[in-house]
Structure formats: C-alpha cells, structure tokens
Chains A and B, each alone.
Chain A
Amino acid sequence: MILNASGCLDALEAPEVAQSLDAFVTKTVTPQPRQGNRPVRFAETVHGMLNSIGLQNPGIEVFLADKLPRLAELGVPVWVSVGGFAAADYAELCATLDERDEVTTIELNLSCPNVDEAPESAAEIVAAARVATRKPLYAKLSPAASDVAEIARAVQGAGADGLSLVNTIRGLSLDANSLEPTLGTETGGYSGPALKPIALAAIFRCYRATGLPIVGMGGIFTGRDALEFLAAGASAVALGTVLFADPDAPARVRAELMSELSARSLEQAEDARGIAHRSTGLLLPNEKIPGLAPKTEALQAPSRVASIPRRGGNEDSGAGARTISGPADGSSEEGERHPSQASATQEGLESGSRQDRKDPDQSARVCGDREGLRHVDGGPQVRTGEGGALPESGPDQPVEDGRRALGPPAL
C-alpha cells in the first residue's frame, strides 16, 4: 500500500511513476489559482531538504476541467489534496469534489508550513468538510503541534476517516557564503530522512489515540523504513522526497518491504501494522483503506499460518493478539484485485452507514462500516491515549471475527 505524498509527484508528467503506486495523491488544490512562492524554492541539507513551493496550483476550476479527467485515465485511484485559508474554502472544495466520481478520497491539507494558516482549528475545518462530502476524508497533520495525538482525536471527533501523518516541519537553511536564508521565503518545509523519527512518533501516538487508518510518510526511502511506519501504526505509506531522487522508488520500496515482511513470516503489509505496540496489548484489527488499488505483482500469498509473537504471553486472553491465519485451502477469500479494477476502491464508498455523512450530529462517530475496526462496546471512539489502561477486548470480541479480508498481500 504505497502512495505518493501530496506535492511530490505530477502524475500527468510522469504517468509511469503514478501507475506504480496504489493510489495517487494530487498536489494540493486551492479554490483560486496560485502562482506559488518566489524562487529559490528548495534547498538540500545534509539529512533532508527544505521546500517553499507555496501551493502552486491552477485552482479547483481548472483542476476539475483539465487535470482530473486526465488523472482518472491513468487507472490509479485518485486522492485529491485540498487546501484553503478558511474552513469555508475546504467545505466548498469538498462539496465540489463530492460530485466527481473520479475522486476516491479527499485529503485535507491542514498543515502546509509555506502558506498562511486558516484561522479555524483542524477539527473545525474537518467538521466543515465532513458536512460537505461523503467521500473518505483524511486529515493531514503537522508533527509540529505540541500534541499531535490531541489534534488527531479532535479531527476524529469531527468526522475524519483517517490521518495522513506527517506533513513537513518548518526549517531554515542558510547560504554557505552569504549566511542569508537560501529560500526565497526564508523558511520552508523540511522533509527527507531527518523527518522519519518525528513521523514515527506522531504515527505511534495517533494510532493509540484514535485507531484511525493512517497513511504514514516522512523520510521513507527503503522498504525497511516502510516496515517501521507500519509497525508504528500506519496502514499505508506514502513516498515524498525519495521520489525526487528516485522515480523508481515505489516498485523498489514495495519489493524491499515484501522481503522485510517475508523475513518476519508476515504475509502482508497489514500484518505488520502496530507491531510496535504489542507489548501494550494494543493491536488494532487489520483494516483496508478505501481508495487504494493494490498492485498485483506481489500478490502471491503463501498459504502458511503466521502469528505475531507477543511479549507478555497472554495470547489466551485474546487481548489484541492478532493471529493471522489463511484460509485452510490456501485460497483467497476476496480474490486478487487488479490495479485497474477501480471498483475495488469503491467498497468503502458504497457500503454501510455513509448516509450519516451529511449529518453533523452523527459525524463525530467513527464510521461503523470501517471494516475490521472495532471499538469497546458503547465507546464512540478509541480513546486509548488518554491515560489509564489500554482497552482490552473482552471475551465477546473474538480476535478473528471473520470479517477481515484474508486476501493476498495488499501491496
């Protein structure tokens, strides 16, 4: 499950790169066209890079008329990143995109360090967007907040379906000779390998705090990096800076990740999710992110049974221990999904309780149709990050409820 980070790939200029992803995330679209920031717009540092693009984009009107139809022809699910300068901008953009079948998922860019922020809180923006669309909403958050988990809980309460973690953080580079800021805007967004531990911490904490699906990003260059993001709690990973250096990175990272999983007797990426939390007993059930069309080249699932050993050895309690077992006959329950089979991405859109999407009173609830995502009875949200004991599922919550797709690795 590999995406690109928003703003790190132009699918129309490099369709072959976009088609090597499981979903393509657009550069952030704003209501009006934006020329972006003045040059210099990027600076390499020892362990990363700074950018100051400033949300250059043609505006929603041109995007919908010119770019979106061509993106849809690529055969890759399209996630549209939207940005604005007030909650109403986001709501307007979401309402417009809601009518477009080509759009699988909407990512709310709530954290661009290179433009002025909206006056409203992240949760207020999500709430406004939630009312405007039934499409899955992912909130892209900055790790620079004093408590990103608190913001994650707030956007979950406001109706976000998932989190994109993390955006860049503000940094400064000085010219080697003049000692003046290298970038035209002085400061910019810092990305690359230096961001990885920061991103991992944000994902780790938000996983516990919300249980929401997370697209993890921030300095992923290798399959090993991707594995760590999954272990921290990500359900999918996105590649950013590495795409600048290596357009072949999606296929390479996917292959490396498969090797990493195989070396640990894990069948698929989902099986690695949350492993970093196993000593706490908190392993959320596997889940699928709507809006991904997994590539099939790595879909030869062995029929072996694998289990994740847990420290503490309380497997008999069923408390979060996740036993992964394949169908007895080794077949896939769900079958392979072809990348061009867009319908695979629609299941999250068509099913379940989406009718509540335009009802703000209900939007604070984690959607019940999120396959495999289970919560303590009566609890509207997972609140495990708020101190106290982590929730232990009771005996009425079997580890395997039979609903989780035991399909081939979704990579």
Chain B
Amino acid sequence: MRSRDRLRVLAREGVGAYTLVRLERGSLEPGIPGQFFMVEAPGRLLPRAMSLCIAPAGELGFLLEAIGPGTRALCEVDAGDQLHVFGPLGNGFRLDVDRPLLVGGGIGIAPLPYLAQMLGDPPVLLGFRSERHAAAAALLPNAGVVVEPTYVTEPLAELVEGHDVLACGPEPMLTAVRALAPAAQLAWEAPMACGYGACYGCSVEIDGVLKRLCIEGPVLEAA
C-alpha cells in the first residue's frame, strides 16, 4: 500500500561512483523489488523516481547516481536531513520464477540487491562502464562482473539457457537482453514527474505502443 511520509536520512555512503542513501522507513512499506519511490530532491520542484535498493529492517536504501541537479542534491543529503518519500509505486518483478538469473547494467543494478534477497541469492551478472563504477558490485557479493568494452550480454549468452532472466539497465542493454531472453522481465527507466499516473510524462514507446511506465511498468514482460 503506497503512502507518503517525511523520512529521516540515516546515512549516506559512497559505493564506487554511486551513493547509497539510507532512510528511516517511517510508515512506508518496502513493496516488491522493482517497484519505485518518488523521493524529494532538495531544492527542486519535482521528486525523483528511485527503485528500492536495500530494505534492512526499519530502513529504505536508495542507490543514486548524480547525473543532474536533482540527483546531485540527493547525493549530498546528510544524516538527519528529512525527505518526503512516496511509494511504493508501479509494478515490480514477478517473483514466481524457477531459476532466476539477475542482470544489471550501471545504475540499473539499483533494484537487484533487494531482488536478490527476496529470491534467495540467485546468480547475478553485472556490467559497468568503468572499474570505479564496478565497485558497486560489492552490493551483490556473488555477482559476475564485466566492465566495458565487455558487455554483460556476453556472459549472459552462455548462461541464459534454462534461466528466468530479470534485468534492469539502460535501454540498449534491455533490448540486447530481450534478444537473448525473449521472456525476460525487464525494468525500464524513464524520467517521471509524478510516479502515480497523473502526468502522462513517463510514456515510452514499446513495440509501437506508448505506455505509462509508472502504471504499466516499470517492470514489463519482454514478450
């Protein structure tokens, strides 16, 4: 059940090129892995959509990459700051899979630690654009990791047979994953203004049809 609350920042930790912000959970539920939360970006008009990365007892943890003014502000919060958070929102991953294989690229690894926890630590493949970014693989200790110019689809091609793929990453990666695993569950990304279907801003064209990612996604079945 989604709700909105003002949550206290417990800690901010550097994870390679990324920042992990841990918040007190307050009245919010962690939801299903792959669901997301609208997190207030200090000093900005609109919140930012973030999938939940870790869900320790009493906490919500978000993995952030500073790519614009909003995410920069979020990467600079201090313990004790307070942020409005609304969620969980959207559709998460289906967890009724027999042989899960998680695939993540870049900041798209964000929902995978919580997903791996819920699925009992299945095999994971991660791809990053630099060694510095790859330090975030520490969030998934048993993951296989590749760094550009190697793409995550290379090891995936050898492992995909017999696995249920659940993936999150940049659009070219998802497209490549889908080519290898037509039934994969893919978590797409789009900027969102509201996160709950109000603005129609996050519509993305998938197979010729515009879909509101916040309502119909962000996790969509590849087929």
B46 near A49 (CB under 8 angstroms)? yes
Contact with B along A1-23 (1 / 0, CB 8 A): 00000011110011001000000
Least CB separation from B70: chain A residue: A44
B84 near A246 (CB under 8 angstroms)? yes
B45 near A193 (CB under 8 angstroms)? yes
- Residues of the B chain whose Cβ atoms lie less than 8 Å from the Cβ of A246: 4, 84
Q: How far is the CB of B49 from chain A (nearest CB, A)?
A: 11
- Residues of the A chain whose Cβ atoms lie less than 8 Å from the Cβ of B198: 8-10, 13-14, 17, 243-244, 247
A44 near B200 (CB under 8 angstroms)? no
Q: Does B56 contact A (CB under 8 A)?
A: no
Interface size range of chain A in the complex: 20 to 34
- Distance, CA A108 to CA B155, complexed state (A): 57
Q: How far is the CB of B174 from chain A (nearest CB, A)?
A: 16
Least CB separation from A248: chain B residue: B4
Q: Does B68 contact A (CB under 8 A)?
A: yes
Q: Which of B57-65, B157-165, B189-197 contacts A (4 or more CB under 8 A)?
A: B189-197
- Distance, CA A398 to CA B176, complexed state (A): 76
A192 near B45 (CB under 8 angstroms)? yes
Checking B44, B70, B196 against A13 with a beta-carbon cut-off of 8 angstroms, the contacting residue is: B196
Main secondary structure of the interface of B (DSSP, over half): loop
Contact with A along B180-209 (1 / 0, CB 8 A): 000000000011011011111111110000
Q: How far is the CB of B73 from chain A (nearest CB, A)?
A: 12
A36 near B200 (CB under 8 angstroms)? yes
Whether A44 contacts B190 in the complex (CB less than 8 A), given A38-B205, A39-B203, comes out as: no
Whether A39 contacts B190 in the complex (CB less than 8 A), given A44-B45, A176-B68, A247-B86, comes out as: yes
- Distance, CA A74 to CA B119, complexed state (A): 38
Restricting to B60-98, which residues have a CB under 8 Å from any CB of A? 68, 70, 84, 86
Q: How far is the CB of B140 from chain A (nearest CB, A)?
A: 30
Contact with A along B81-121 (1 / 0, CB 8 A): 00010100000000000000000000000000000000000
- Distance, CA A176 to CA B70, complexed state (A): 13
Checking A40, A241, A248 against B191 with a beta-carbon cut-off of 8 angstroms, the contacting residue is: A40
Q: Does A59 contact B (CB under 8 A)?
A: no
- Residues of the A chain whose Cβ atoms lie less than 8 Å from the Cβ of B194: 243-245, 247
Q: How far is the CB of B61 from chain A (nearest CB, A)?
A: 23
B70, B191, B194: which has the most chain A beta carbons within 10 Å? Answer: B194
Q: Does B169 contact A (CB under 8 A)?
A: no
Q: Does B220 contact A (CB under 8 A)?
A: no
Q: How far is the CB of A14 from chain B (nearest CB, A)?
A: 5
B193 near A14 (CB under 8 angstroms)? no
Contact with B along A41-72 (1 / 0, CB 8 A): 11011011101010010000000000000000
- Residues of the A chain whose Cβ atoms lie less than 8 Å from the Cβ of B202: 41
Least CB separation from B215: chain A residue: A13
Checking B45, B68, B196, B199 against A53 with a beta-carbon cut-off of 8 angstroms, the contacting residue is: B199
- Distance, CA A49 to CA B203, complexed state (A): 17
Q: Does A35 contact B (CB under 8 A)?
A: yes
B196 near A41 (CB under 8 angstroms)? no
Q: Does B47 contact A (CB under 8 A)?
A: yes
Contact with B along A234-264 (1 / 0, CB 8 A): 0000000101111110000000000000000
A36 near B203 (CB under 8 angstroms)? yes
A8 near B84 (CB under 8 angstroms)? no
- Distance, CA A247 to CA B3, complexed state (A): 10
Q: How far is the CB of B9 from chain A (nearest CB, A)?
A: 19
Q: Does B138 contact A (CB under 8 A)?
A: no
List 16 A-B residue pairs with CB atoms under 8 Å apart, sorted by A's residue number. A8-B199, A10-B196, A13-B197, A27-B200, A39-B190, A39-B205, A42-B199, A42-B201, A44-B44, A45-B45, A48-B45, A51-B193, A53-B201, A243-B194, A243-B198, A247-B198
Please give 9 more A-B residue pairs, beta carbons under 8 A apart, in addition to A39-B205, A245-B194, A247-B196: A8-B198, A14-B198, A35-B210, A36-B203, A51-B201, A53-B203, A56-B200, A176-B68, A241-B45
